[in-house]
């Protein structure tokens, strides 16, 4: 199984809402990533978890809160987002930091 | 600073060969990746180079010259389904951080 799954596929939320994005992989990968991608732009790294510990936070605003409950799951909690946060949010995993990343299909987020 | 440059767009004909170039300047280097991304979909891994030279994988080949900060992706026997964006990505020495180039949108015409 070389699949990374993400839910939901689409999400529309208001600026006062709280929502969560979920990511799951069963490849035994110990590194998991959150990326943000705007249209016609490359993915931008947000967070990296290594062995369920946060190892990289790319100065992401606190309205984005990552969580790694176990080695297979990665969440991104969203609160008080801004319209400019609308984007495709991609989750990825790798065997370790040195290996290729497998991306999930993404969650297309619209903030109204 | 960190910079990855790729052409914005390229057009090629079905059945032809196309080469997509990538130049990079990064703080530390621990491998270069090529990913394919169709519109509205997630990137998928194509190739990986960490040593100088050519890596071949079916219709796709990737080349790396670390001294020149240069890589290319070669696509042979182009098919219409190869129309996509191709992302060059460089991994930093630390291991986890991968910087993506802006991508090259390839259009394959009949």
- Give the model confidence (pLDDT) of A15-69 as tens digits: 999 999 999 999 999 999 999 999 989 999 999 999 999 999 999 999 999 999 9
Least confident of A31-35, B36-40, B95-99: B95-99
Please choose, from the candidates A78, A76, A75, A66, the residue with its C-alpha nearest in 3D space to the C-alpha of residue A111.
Answer: A78
Q: Note whether B96 contacts A56, CB cutoff 8 Å.
A: yes
Q: Note whether B95 contacts A104, CB cutoff 8 Å.
A: no
B76 Cα to chain A: minimum distance (Å) = 23
Q: Note whether A105 contacts B42, CB cutoff 8 Å.
A: yes
Q: Note whether B97 contacts A48, CB cutoff 8 Å.
A: yes
Please report residues of B whose CB lies closer than 8 A to that of A55.
96
Q: Percent of chain A beyond pLDDT 90?
A: 88
In this prediction, residue A97 has a pLDDT band, given cuts at 50, 70 and 90, of low
Instruction: Output the six-digit token pair for A78.
Output: 């969203």
Residues of B in CB contact (< 8 Å) with A are 30-31, 33, 41-45, 48, 87, 89, 91, 94-103
Q: Which residue among A42, A44, A105 sits closest to B101, beta carbon to beta carbon? A: A42
d(CA A108, CA A73): 19
Return the SS3 of A83.
helix
Please choose, from the candidates A61, A39, A47, the residue with its C-alpha nearest in 3D space to the C-alpha of residue A92.
Answer: A47
Q: CB-based contact (8 Å) between A66 and chain B?
A: no
Residue A98 above 70 pLDDT? no
Q: Note whether B96 contacts A97, CB cutoff 8 Å.
A: yes
Residue A1 above 90 pLDDT? no
Residue B55 above 90 pLDDT? yes
A65 Cα to chain B: minimum distance (Å) = 19
Least confident of A55-69, B64-78, B94-108: B94-108
Residue A14 above 70 pLDDT? yes
Please choose, from the candidates B80, B74, B71, B85, the residue with its C-alpha nearest in 3D space to the C-alpha of residue B33.
Answer: B71
Instruction: Report the pLDDT value the prediction gives residue B19, as an integer from 0 to 100.
Output: 98
Q: Do A57 and A32 contact (CB within 8 A), yes or no?
A: no
Please report residues of B whose CB lies closer than 8 A to that of A101.
33, 45, 98
Look-up: residue for tokens 């100088």? B52
């Amino acid at each position: 199984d070389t699949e990374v799954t993400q839910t939901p596929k689409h999400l529309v939320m208001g600026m006062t809402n709280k929502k969560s994005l979920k990511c799951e992989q069963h490849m035994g990968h110990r590194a998991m990533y959150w990326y943000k991608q705007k249209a016609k732009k490359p993915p931008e790294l947000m967070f990296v978890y290594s062995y369920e510990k946060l190892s990289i936070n790319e100065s992401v605003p606190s309205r984005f809160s990552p969580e790694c409950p176990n080695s297979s799951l990665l969440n991104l909690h969203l609160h008080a987002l801004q319209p400019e946060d609308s984007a495709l949010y991609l989750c990825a995993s790798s065997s370790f930091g040195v290996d290729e990343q497998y991306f999930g299909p993404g969650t297309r987020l619209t903030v109204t | 600073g960190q910079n990855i440059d790729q052409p914005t767009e390229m057009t090629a004909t079905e059945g032809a060969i196309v080469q997509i170039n990538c130049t990079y300047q990064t703080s530390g280097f621990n491998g270069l990746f090529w990913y394919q991304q169709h519109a509205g979909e997630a990137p998928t891994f194509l190739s990986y180079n960490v040593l100088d030279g050519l890596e071949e994988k079916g219709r796709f080949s990737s080349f790396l010259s670390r001294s020149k900060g240069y890589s290319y992706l070669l696509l042979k026997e182009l098919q219409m389904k190869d129309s996509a964006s191709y992302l060059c990505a460089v991994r930093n020495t630390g291991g986890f951080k991968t910087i993506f180039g802006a991508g090259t949108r390839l259009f394959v015409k009949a």
